[in-house]
Chains A and B, each alone.
Chain A
């Protein structure tokens, strides 16, 4: 399990509501400027983590996106310490009911299904509801003959609070991908910062085409766990999107501002 330090605005210098400091270059940036730039630092092109709803806004044609399966929510099957509280807090904070949004909408001339996870909902982790929603959107894509686009960000992968049931979602989501394969439905993955653990080790690894946002941390074990195991510091850039491209794990590292254009380009060939 790996989590990056949460962003803490320095109150003396900046008002958090209007200004944000770039996590990478330290530049103080106006929120409006960042919004316009799709939350990419104009100075160093660092990609801020953004909520699932932002991806919908950035990729889909205005008001074309319809949410599906949002009646599916997490339960607390293990009666795990603080899980109910955690879920409640995550719901309040994000306005979501689960760590992912599933639905369909239009990208340019293409109607597509989408699965988009949200890091700010318990680290974008995968529990039973998450796995079920992924499978359902695959079924939907098959029955409506629509391509599926998956956008992931998940710190730890499988959600600890649902124990072994979370782990088994690796199988369920892979069954979803298999359904797509059997029905010749295009499946494009967009890997965002971070996509780790059981999410990376299941459906996120199986895209026909796999894109990754600049600088996204992608892999199985988190850097902290690896450092503790091997007792040495990891090299700069380890497990980042650029590293994974070099090691043959993804097709392209993309800038978020180009994401929509890239998806259209791929769909134009796969689905025209």
Chain B
């Protein structure tokens, strides 16, 4: 539970207790109705004007649905592929083939893990080069069988470690991006939680990119930014505002095409609801993308990314923004 969520959780707890008691004491029902009304009001107040930093906390919420939850919640069938065929298997990246209703997909996502042991096993969702090379294997399968690709982005970033550098972290990230810009099948990307810099983008190039309402995407973590900007990583909340990393900001900059509304308070408050919404979005988007000829799709993908960026072009002394 996050600090600002407390009033909501406390009220919910009280209502649940009263509901149990009300089985033998029906006179409590009136009080329950009153509190439920109050709960709606409290939720409204708590979640109405969230700061960027509060959104960062929801994006990292311990109960937030992860890639694995989306896969289980959406796919009828899923077979996980393992290993990069070079060095090893990186379980911070889940990749595989699956079916959603009757449509076949290749799915790739970063996975942070839930229990302490699983978090350690999955390296808290921070991939090594093997993770990106496994993703590229999955992309090749997609191309061979003409399966569209779905990616779920949720990572603090690529892992900064000795082995990762020895095995070419930078090269793996670049090659994965390069593979995605030319991949001859539709790609649908969802920023579901934390989009941590290059390590996120390595699986985040898409024809359509969606961001969940309380997800974030940034070039550097707010803590890292605060350490550089204010020489104080505890000023992360301030840095989060400056970085413009919320879904709303991303939409304004053209980084994402659409925001997917979350249940009030965040996806963790009603997972079934968010799975249903994401599933609908996948099917709807695929229907739209599959009508486009592949050359046209690649051209559009390219044009979309060429448009991203804000700079000045100073010609003949006049300044124009692009």
Contacts and interface: CB of A to CB of B under 8 A. Distances in A.
- Report, as a range, how many residues of chain A touch the other chain: 35 or more
Contacts of B100: none
B291 interface: no
A120 interface: no
A131 B307 CA distance: 11
Nearest to A250: B171
Interface string B298-322: 0000100110111111110000011
A169 B161 CA distance: 24
A77 interface: yes
Nearest to B198: A201
A206 interface: yes
B161 A128 contact: no
Contacts of A127: 311
B201 interface: yes
B71 interface: no
Interface stretch (A11-19, A20-28, A225-233): A225-233
Given A74-B312, A164-B245, A201 B161 contact: no
B40 interface: no
Nearest to B219: A167
Interface in B174-193: 174-175, 177-178, 181-182
A221 B202 CA distance: 15
B160 A168 contact: no
A162 to B, nearest CB: 8
B168 A248 contact: yes
Contact of B255 (A168, A200, A220, A234): A168
B309 A167 contact: no
Contacts of B314: 71, 73
Interface stretch (A38-46, A53-61, A171-179, A251-259): A171-179
A29 interface: no
Given A168-B255, A174-B174, A163 B245 contact: yes
Nearest to B174: A205
B170 to A, nearest CB: 4
Contacts of B255: 164-165, 168
B158 A171 contact: no
A131 B174 CA distance: 15
B181 A229 contact: no
A122 to B, nearest CB: 12
Given A168-B305, A226-B162, A163 B243 contact: yes
B244 interface: yes
B169 interface: yes
Given A73-B314, A163-B219, A226-B165, A201 B173 contact: yes
Interface in A95-139: 127-129, 131-132, 135
A197 interface: yes
A170 B171 contact: no
A140 to B, nearest CB: 15
Contacts of A271: none
B182 to A, nearest CB: 6
Contacts of B315: 71
B169 A163 contact: no
A73 B312 contact: yes
A239 interface: yes
A172 B219 contact: no
Contacts of B173: 170, 201-202, 205, 220
